[in-house]
Structure 1
Amino acid sequence: MRRVHLVHFYSAPGGIEVLSSRLVGSFSGHSFRVFVIRPRAEDQLDVYEGTDIPVTCGSGSNSVALFRLWKYARSYRNDVFHLFNLGPYFLLALKLAGARRIIYSIRGTRYWTNNFQQIVRRLLWRLALSRNMKVIANSEYSRQVFLEKVSRRPEIDVVYNPVGSVRFAPATHERKPGMMKIVYAGRLAPGKNLISWIETAAAIHTTLDNTLFEIYGSGPLEQQLHDKITCLSAGSYIFLKGYRSDIENVFREADLTLFLSEYESFGNVVVESILCGTPVIASGIPSMQEIFRDYPLFLLSTEEDIAEQVIARLRDYEALLSAAGNACRDFRKRFSEEAYIKKLNAIYTSFND
């Protein structure tokens, strides 16, 4: 049985972290261990808690975390290492430790914030990447950004995030008329545009007072979001609900998922919502355009007022619901767990001994 080491930056609930912890038992012929760069904070949720998967932690210090990862990889250098969206420093640490079977998953689109970082990190990427590494991306968009910004050297396969499982399915009961529930689910973190989400919710509620809004997730912006809701005197119709492990039930009970993220390499939650039969309205960023390529009704224009666009579509809710039904059938095949497991299994077993 071949051993595979999953390397995450955090073990807090995020799209790929939740999926990885849930799917590891579906891979035949492999056993799994996990290395997490940042140890869990005292009040932080851990997706691997309660599982029988061994977890090793790095450190809050980058230099210490790099050394611990190098030492860990040195001990298991003949195993398979699968890194999820870590920077070139950690990839280089594995390479220097002698790890020979490395899979690097591109799951982001932002690699630097200034010219100095660009120069340094591009050089480190060139040192860290090698021809015998396998590089995969979770969307055509994240693949293209990596090739344009970071390196054109590696051959990159696209392996879409697995979402289409029996867990995500439409509710068996009909939707009840009355209050319309609009939700967000995901990390409460920068880049998710959640202040704008709250402002948009308040603007929608001013016109459509039969609406209420719920935000599900945990993250560093929680207090800031709470303060914003208080500032807008919106506490009677906008609620912070915390993290829910049964997010499928959140989607089934909702009438709409509103997703206004500024950047995403993919976007699990919008697919999960559709698979539960719940329509989505999302910002028209490239990854959302890729997901909803055949369903433009779900995409917002950047040239028009967001709240007005959402209100107009809610007034023709049956059209949204019908489009969600069509997309649900399409997505169940396009983003299936079976396809993901089959493709990743083949990659895990493709390394020559």
Structure 2
Amino acid sequence: MKIRFYLNFKEDFRNSMNNYGKDHIKNLKKNYKNLQVSFFKPKVPKYLFFLPYLWRMRVARYFFYSLQIKNLPKVDIAHVVDHQYAHIVRKINAKKKVITVHDLQPIILQKYFNKNPLLFKHSLRHLNLFNKIITISKNSRSDLLKYTNTKHKKIHVLYQPSQNEFNNKNYNKKYILKYINKIKSIKILTFASAEYKNFDTSIKILDKLNKKFPNTYILNFGKIHKKIDNKSKHKIIELPFMNRKNQNNIYRSADFLLFPSHFEGYGLPCVEAINSNLPVISSNIPSIKEIMGEAGNYCKPLDVNCFVKKITKLITNKKFFLKKMKQLKKRKKIFDEKKYYKNLLKIYKI
């Protein structure tokens, strides 16, 4: 069976989408020697660089991607890894066409961003031209059925597993000391890559926690895109880009993952936390509750006092903490990598 993955432009800066594709390519090549797995990564033509970034990428996405793939040889399975490129479907040369839909954030949050995502909607209108559609959660499937005319029978839900690096229990316990040289501190992981990650609430939670537990710190994956001007700013540490091995070192050395997002299509950091045996305190939005199940600790996204109480209980109540750790271990079975790829191949073959 010949399988080709269609990746994003490098200039899209949608690393999570390309990582999704690269992980699939790597795992299928490694574990299924009978498959011929390849990929196509589009390139922005050099003569477009005179255009402003926004217009350059629009022309590249909606004209040149289709142009670059139209003469590729035929394969058995074509898998588009990002739903924003559903519009290339007519130019794909394959017996069966598959696409993964991660989330419908631009549509669901269009009032929040005050933007009407017309081009995004244009792409989604092509979904029914694919043979199979994969969504990364039941919540994403529900959104897809609510906001588009996609046929229910085409949709398959597959929970994306975290990578093997997050299963490694033999981690470097000293690695985290590069960023926080206080062994007896309480270390809370966060993500603040976008407004909907709700980092303002994380800062308020940190302020209140430090009144009870003065050695509490936030370690944030990635750059914080806002100025922090409060008394706890010296206890917020920006972690640089790092490989998955070192991410696992951080996950396993931390105490909690704080994830108060207003919106998530899936919440892969929560799956990584499950695999790393890291307790998660998150917002009570449907997508995260679907991932975490009874192993989660939930609050309304803006309820600072609730988050503080949940974290305090995990710190002070050993019996409750051990109960949550047991639930995390049980939850891990849902995100089994071998089972995932077995089900993926079933979708390809149906």
TM-score range, shorter chain: 0.7 to 0.9
RMSD across aligned positions (CA): 3.4
User: What is the match of residue 242 of structure 1?
Assistant: 240
1:78 matched to 2:74: yes
User: Amino acid of the residue matched to residue 161 of structure 1?
Assistant: Q
User: What is the match of residue 300 of structure 1?
Assistant: 299
For residues 1-353 of structure 1, the aligned pairs below 5 Å read 2-8=2-8, 12=13, 14-27=15-28, 28=32, 29-35=35-41, 60-76=56-72, 78-79=74-75, 80-87=77-84, 90-96=85-91, 101-112=96-107, 113=110, 117=116, 125-126=124-125, 128-130=126-128, 132-155=130-153, 156-163=155-162, 165=164, 167-170=166-169, 178-185=184-191, 188-218=193-223, 222-224=224-226, 227-228=227-228, 231-245=229-243, 246-296=246-296, 298-301=297-300, 304=303, 305-319=305-319, 321-350=321-350
Q: How many Å separate the matches in 1 of 2:307 and 2:83?
A: 35
Q: How many Å separate the matches in 1 of 2:24 and 2:147?
A: 31
Q: How many Å separate the matches in 2 of 1:18 and 1:319?
A: 38
Please say if residues 77 and 97 of structure 1, whose CA atoms lie closer than 8 Å, have aligned partners that are also in contact.
Answer: no
Q: How many Å separate the matches in 1 of 2:290 and 2:42?
A: 30
**1:215-260 CA-partner distances (Å, limit 9, x unpaired):** 0124xxx341xx21xx114243111112221211111100111111
User: What is the match of residue 44 of structure 1?
Assistant: none
Please say if residues 103 and 140 of structure 2, whose CA atoms lie closer than 8 Å, have aligned partners that are also in contact.
Answer: yes
**1:294-353 CA-partner distances (Å, limit 9, x unpaired):** 235x21245843443344324435245424432333233210111121122233344xxx
Q: How many Å separate the matches in 1 of 2:87 and 2:332?
A: 37
- Segments of structure 2 that go 5 or more residues without pairing to the other structure are 46-54, 174-181
TM-score by length of 1: 0.77
**How far has the Cα of 1:19 moved from its partner?**
4.3
Q: How many Å separate the matches in 2 of 1:287 and 1:247?
A: 23
User: Amino acid of the residue matched to residue 65 of structure 1?
Assistant: R
Q: How many Å separate the matches in 2 of 1:92 and 1:20?
A: 18
Please say if residues 214 and 238 of structure 1, whose CA atoms lie closer than 8 Å, have aligned partners that are also in contact.
Answer: yes
- Judging changes above 3 Å, is the alpha-carbon distance between structure 1 residues 24 and 91 closer, same or farther for their aligned structure 2 residues? same
Q: Aligned with 1:8: secondary structure?
A: coil
TM-score by length of 2: 0.78
Q: How many Å separate the matches in 1 of 2:298 and 2:44?
A: 35
Q: How many Å separate the matches in 1 of 2:43 and 2:266?
A: 22
- Judging changes above 3 Å, is the alpha-carbon distance between structure 1 residues 223 and 333 closer, same or farther for their aligned structure 2 residues? closer
- Judging changes above 3 Å, is the alpha-carbon distance between structure 1 residues 3 and 98 closer, same or farther for their aligned structure 2 residues? closer
Q: How many Å separate the matches in 1 of 2:57 and 2:6?
A: 20
**How far has the Cα of 1:83 moved from its partner?**
2.2
User: Amino acid of the residue matched to residue 199 of structure 2?
Assistant: L
**1:95-127 CA-partner distances (Å, limit 9, x unpaired):** 25666532121111324226994788657644x
**How far has the Cα of 1:201 moved from its partner?**
1.6
**1:183-235 CA-partner distances (Å, limit 9, x unpaired):** 124x61232112322232222223321211110124xxx341xx21xx11424
Please say if residues 300 and 309 of structure 1, whose CA atoms lie closer than 8 Å, have aligned partners that are also in contact.
Answer: no
- Judging changes above 3 Å, is the alpha-carbon distance between structure 1 residues 101 and 200 closer, same or farther for their aligned structure 2 residues? same
Please say if residues 283 and 300 of structure 2, whose CA atoms lie closer than 8 Å, have aligned partners that are also in contact.
Answer: yes
Q: Aligned with 1:340: secondary structure?
A: helix
- Judging changes above 3 Å, is the alpha-carbon distance between structure 1 residues 310 and 195 closer, same or farther for their aligned structure 2 residues? same
Aligned residues: 320
User: What is the match of residue 55 of structure 1?
Assistant: none
**Identity fraction in percent:** 19
- Judging changes above 3 Å, is the alpha-carbon distance between structure 1 residues 195 and 84 closer, same or farther for their aligned structure 2 residues? farther
Query: Which has the larger helix fraction?
Result: 2
**How far has the Cα of 1:75 moved from its partner?**
1.8
